[in-house]
Structure 1
Amino acid sequence: MYGILGQGMKELATWEEPRELDTDNEAVISLYDGIKKILEKQPKPKGKPSSGLPREAKHILRCGRILKVDIERKLVVITVMKTDGELHQLRIEANQD
């Protein structure tokens, strides 16, 4: 068992650093071009369609009535009444001026 481990360690010691691409070799250039063509044919990842509004601007809070809106420099407090009569308060706080 030690002989197998010793041989593996010997192979590890003779490992070479990766060399630069041999651009003079036609086979290497052909292989590189083939890989490049395959990658170009792959479909591009599609991003989510954007409406131009930040994600936070799309949140909707359904309520019966908006009772009060207080606006300060870094804080907006909105008080609403749900259709069942329950009061809710929404706070939007900025962390910068």
Structure 2
Amino acid sequence: MSLVACLHSKVKPEHTDELMSFLEEKLPAVRGFEGCRNVSIYLNKENGDMIFNEQWASKEAHEQYLLSIQNNGVMSQLLSYLASPPNVSYFEKLDI
């Protein structure tokens, strides 16, 4: 099964540049995490809306990743750049 995890967040305007550097540093680890198939990030520069479009082998793989970054401090670093925690939605590909 393939799953898309869509995370919607809002960047604190004063931290946009710092967040970009943080993401450039951390994204290789996300993409290399077991079960991650792809990560794309989209930013609306006008209002600070950011979408993480992540493809994972399963919801469990994504949840393991989230647990890992909560335990190693990366999640708290990420949250420091955001106005509020990301809203996470999961989507399964339909074969129709």
TM-score computed with the length of structure 2 as normaliser: 0.23
Larger Rg: 1
Greater relative CO, 1 or 2 (CA 8 Å, sep 6+): 2
Query: Larger helix proportion, structure 1 or 2?
Result: 2
Query: Larger strand proportion, structure 1 or 2?
Result: 2
